Amino acid sequence: CALISCWIFFASFIKIIDMAVHLALRVAMLFLFGVGVSLLINLMQAQKNQVLITSEMWLGMVKSGMWVPPACGLSAVAIGLLYPTVDRLLGDPTVAQRTDWSSVIRCAALFVGLNQAAAKIDFMSHAQLSLCLAAMSLGLWFYFDGSRSGLGLALVIALLAAAVNQMMICLDAYRPSVDFVRVRAWLPCIFFSGSVTVGLAGRLLAAQANSATSSSAAKSHGD
């Protein structure tokens, strides 16, 4: 009896370890994804001489703009974990089933393209820039995600991020170098499409982790 209970404890411990490892992997991948995307966007904007974050920092905490990539990574982790959770709560895990890595990469590439369009193309007005980007973001959501929960979540995240950004400006946390009106025009759309992309990746990672843990659980059960 003791042996059995010990075995059960050991098995559950193994399972917990397994889940933790998978979770850590997911978190690490999402974090790396967010960091990479933020660096890429910054590089693209740097081509246009519109570096988003330059120098003056809030209360002198960080002297450079190097806090942006980790922040992007953390938010990517949060979004990537939030999407599957919301899916599970709403009982609509169908998106992850028809998603695979190639479509995630496709979505990411189009997201990068969206950034490039925002950075490179000269629009007549900020309104036009904003409109075009919004339409493209909605198209991105429609084509790759298509779920209502995804739309709602992305909208909420975009609005939230834009509000936080605005608040930081108001609190004089940092001062954008150039033409912040332009930045304000495209930032929510970029947040929207970025959260769609990260959400897609997060869903796929969650589905794979689920299948991996269930298969390993089945294997241990079989043993």
Partner 1 sequence: MSIKRQVSRLFYYHGILCARFPVYILAGVILIILFFWYPLLTLSIPSRSPYEFVIDKPNNLTGSSVSPTRPWLHRPAEAVILQLLVTVHVSKQASVDALRAALAGSFELHALVRDFQHGNASLSNLCFTVDEATALTPAERRQLPAYGCLLLSPASLWQQEAEMFNSDRNLLRTVYVSPLKEILFGMPWRHTGVSRFNVRSRDRVISYCVTAFLKNHDQEFVDSLVNRAAKLSWAKHLPTLESASLTPTHIYFKDNSFIVEYTPLLVLYSILFLYIYFSVRKIQMVKSKWGLAFGACFTVVASLLMSVGVCMYFGIAPSLNGSETFPYLVVLIGMENVLVITKSVVSTPVELEVRHRVAVGLSKEGWTITRSLVAEVSLLSLGLLSFNTSIQEFALFAVVGLCTDFFLQMFFFVTILAIDIKRMEPLPVAKQRTANLLQQQQQLKQQDQQQQKQQSIQQVPQDLAVTLGCDESIEDNNSDSKPATAQTASDSAEQLRKLHQFHHMHRRQPSDANTAAFLMHSLTAAATSAPAPAVPRRIRVLYYLASKRLALRLLLLVLCVWLLQASGLISAVSRQLHSSLTFSSNLSTTASSNPGSSGDLVEHPDYQRYWPEMAALHWPSLFGHYNRSLAGRYVTYLGAACYQSAAADRSAAIDEETVTEQPQQEQPWWFLLGRPAALHGTWGLAAICLFGVTFVLTSTYALMLCCQLCGLAWLFRLGSRAFDRPPPLRTVVPVVLPATSMDVDLVCISSLAPADCPATRRVEDRILAASSLDGSVSVWNLSGRRLAYFDRQLQHEGQCDCVTSDATVGPADGYGKLGDGADVGLGLRQRVSHATSLSPSQAASTDSDLAAATEAVPSNSGLNPASPTQTLSSSSIWCMSLITNDTDSRYLLVGCSDGHLELWDFTCTGSAKCRIQLSAEGLTHLTVQQSQLVAVAATATGMLHCVRLLLDADRIEPLSSCRASPLPLHSMLIWPDAGHGDLLATAGEDNLIRFFSIGELCKIRQPQQQLSNNGAVGAGAAAAAAAAAAAAGAASFCTVVSAHAAPVLALAAYPSRGVLSGGADGAVFQVSPADDRSSSGFRQKRLVWQRQPVLSVSVSSRHAVCGLANGQLLLLRLCTGAWRLLSCCQQQQQQPQQPLQPLLCTWSPPCLLPSNDAIVTSSSSGLNGLDVWCLARRRRLSRVRLATDWIRSDPVQPVCLLSQESMLLCKCGPCLLLVPECQLT
Residues in CB range of 125: below 8 A, 6 or more apart: none
123 contributes a contact to partner 1 by CB under 8 A? yes
131 is an interface residue for partner 1 by CB under 8 A: yes
The sign one gets for the Cα dihedral 86, 88, 90, 93 is: positive
DSSP result, 85-133: HHHHHHT-THHHHT--HHHHHHHHHHHHHHHHHHHHPPPS-HHHHHHHH
Q: Which of 124, 170, 171, 181 binds partner 1 (CB under 8 A)?
A: 124
Question: Which residue's CB is nearer to partner 1, number 172 or number 179?
Answer: 179
Distance CA 76, CA 56 (A): 25
Residue 127 interacts with partner 1 (CB under 8 A): yes or no: yes
Q: How many C-alpha atoms does 175 have within 13 Å on its Cβ side?
A: 6
Mark the segment that binds partner 1 (CB under 8 A) among 41-49, 63-71, 161-169, 198-206.
Answer: 41-49
Q: Which of 25, 151, 173, 217 binds partner 1 (CB under 8 A)?
A: 151
**Which residues sit at the interface with partner 1, rule CB under 8 A?**
40, 43-44, 46-47, 49, 89-91, 100-103, 105-106, 108-110, 112-113, 116-117, 121-125, 127-128, 130-132, 134-136, 139, 142-143, 148, 151-152, 155
